[in-house]
Amino acid sequence: MLLDDFAYLSDSSKNRSNLKILNYSIDSGSLSHAYIFCGYSMDLLFNIAISFAASVNCENNGCGLCNVCKNTKKGVYENIIILEPEGNNITIDRVTELQRFMSISAYSAGYKICIMKEADLLNREAANRLLKTLEDPPDDRSIFVLLTEDLPSILPTVASRCIIFEWDLKGSGNGKALSMDDGRLKEIIDKGIKDILADNNDYRGCLNLAFQVMDFLKDNFDAGDDAHRDQVEMYKNTGAAKSEIKKLEDAIKAKNKRKMNKFTNLGINIVFDIITAWLEDILAVSRGASREAINMPGNFDFIVKNFRQLDSARAFGLMDIIEKNRKYLKYSIYPGLSLDNIFLQLKLLGSPD
């Protein structure tokens, strides 16, 4: 079955549980009218969603061989609509489009299914319009599948109308794997923090560390340029007009920019996690915690040497600054400046008054 064909899902108990629930829902016919699939790769989320849609309408629950499965996987089945942002948002016009599609009687037997990519980019007006549709769906043969890499950005009232499936997709999709576990980004941050805390006079290290982080994220992002060039060339070979080719190229550029922004935000959130772990350890050691009791025992001697006295209020204040920056990260045009400011505040934490 299609939903059992994803090798990259098999290693996670969360993913196996999700697949078991979805397969049971399809087999028993106990389908919800609205789902949210969230995880760290939009491409992989879409693969899961399109296979789910095919399995719902397939007479054999996702055989992968019939016309329903084949056409749905291609995104050309008449009972499915796929929406994604144009530019930086999903506007009310796009939601109106899906409402019209979903309100028309199904062309073939089965369910009308809407898959919405990057649902976190719904502007407020569009989200409220979608909410009304989720509250009062056209009929009991309509299914909405919203995809997002940023679940907290979904309007809470929209999320509350959906069954949420969180997928463990870390290390998959665009960009090389980013996590604290692989040590690459953590190594940069740990060394940089030690450098800026050890030198009481040179504040340039704060800016240099911010540049290092941004360069690391840029170098580790894979825009998939080869695949996009192939896509444009194939479109040209169909005889498409120059204006249509230009529209496709602009759409690809906008999509890559969104992906890069999300990838960068993921990386900076990991940096925030590392800095917060440092702050927790500094506070713990200043209050007498042992080496074994802190997050990063290898930093114990450094903390003891550099933080004989600590302004706890300043440390807690920096944690608050980090959380505020985390909330507004997606709206920041210059995330590197946000990092530079936080590194500067961290340096002041270790500097004598």
Give Cα 186 distance to the centre of its chain: 20
Residues 6+ apart with CB under 8 A from 114: 80, 81, 82, 83, 98, 101, 102, 142, 143, 144, 145
Tokens of 93: 């016009």
Pick 2-166's CATH classification: 3.40.1190.20, 3.40.50.300, 3.90.420.10, 3.40.50.261. 3.40.50.300
* Least confident window among 91-95, 273-277, 323-327: 323-327
Dihedral sign, Cα of residue 348, residue 350, residue 351, residue 353: positive
pTM for this one?
A: 0.69
What is the H or E stretch that residue 94 is in? Answer: helix 92-103
> 151 or 115: whose pLDDT is higher?
115
Give pLDDT, residue 176.
52
335-350 vs 312-327: helix axis angle to the nearest 10?
170
Answer yes or no: is pLDDT of 199 > 80: no
| Helix intervals (H) in 104-241 | 124-135, 156-159, 184-198, 204-220, 225-237
Answer yes or no: is pLDDT of 173 > 50: no
> 140 or 202: whose pLDDT is higher?
140
State mean pLDDT over 167-183.
Answer: 60
Q: Whole-angstrom Cα distance, residue 343 to residue 192?
A: 9
Q: Whole-angstrom Cα distance, residue 336 to residue 128?
A: 33
Tell me the C-alpha to C-alpha distance, in Å, between residue 137 and each of 92, 108, 133: 17, 19, 5
Asked if 265 contacts 40 with a C-beta cutoff of 8 angstroms, the reply is no
Reported as a single tens digit per residue, the pLDDT across 118-131 is 999 898 899 999 99
State mean pLDDT over 6-31.
Answer: 91
| Parts of the chain belonging to CATH 3.40.50.300 | 2-166
Residues 6+ apart with CB under 8 A from 24: 30
What confidence tier does 229 reach under pLDDT thresholds 50, 70, 90? Answer: confident
Nearest 10 degrees: Cα torsion 276, 281, 284, 285: -150
Q: What is the DSSP string of 32-80?
A: -SEEEEE-S-HHHHHHHHHHHHHHHHSTTSS-SSSHHHHHHHHT--TTE
Q: Whole-angstrom Cα distance, residue 21 to residue 15?
A: 10
Reported as a single tens digit per residue, the pLDDT across 256-288 is 887 888 788 888 988 999 999 999 999 999 889
Give pLDDT, residue 275.
94
Asked if 172 contacts 44 with a C-beta cutoff of 8 angstroms, the reply is yes
Answer yes or no: is pLDDT of 201 > 80: no
Q: Whole-angstrom Cα distance, residue 229 to residue 227?
A: 5
